Amino acid sequence: MGSKDLEAESTVGRLSSPVVPKASTVRDAGSPFNAQSADVILRSADNVDFRAHRVILSIASKVFSETFSRPIATNDDAQISEKLNEVKDGLSVVSMAEDERGLEMLLRFCYPVEQPKFTTTEDIVLGLRLVRKFQLVHVQNPKEQLMLLTQREPERAYAIACTFQLRDVALSAAQKSL
């Protein structure tokens, strides 16, 4: 592994979301992710329930499409694990690895609602991770924000771009760092 790869890994490692301890009580997310028309509940790692629609998630994400098409959820890919015995308000509850912030960002990518705001470098990295993990091929916001970051922090943008194999962004960042 080259020095640039190590730098990229360490930069992304520093930018990851903090580990959130499990909350003891479950609460519901706010609008627009509290719709009564939902047919599934996605529970964040910090116990926030987001009501969602399988068809919308399946259209937006190959991972959700494959997960919801299985007759019985498995944890083979460690991306989504469904607690088959947990039901709330007649809906299956899917336990997600993402915290409330990450899950809301993911759902905003999937739904035709206001897109997430990228106010920090950490937001950009989280967005890129979600896009890659859930195979959201039509989402460009995090990549566009990373391209903007090349103006202010080209070295950091380069490291992040290398980590996510975004060649065009890495090239732009490298040129701007000269």
Domains by residue range for the chain, with CATH: 3-176 (3.30.710.10)
pLDDT, tens only, 110-169: 999 999 989 899 999 999 999 999 999 888 889 899 999 999 999 999 999 999 999 999
Q: In this model, does residue 10 exceed pLDDT 50?
A: no
Residue-level pLDDT at 13: 40
Residues pairing with 49 in the sheet = 28, 43
Q: In this model, does residue 38 exceed pLDDT 70?
A: yes
Do the Cβ atoms of 157 and 146 come closer than 8 Å?
A: yes
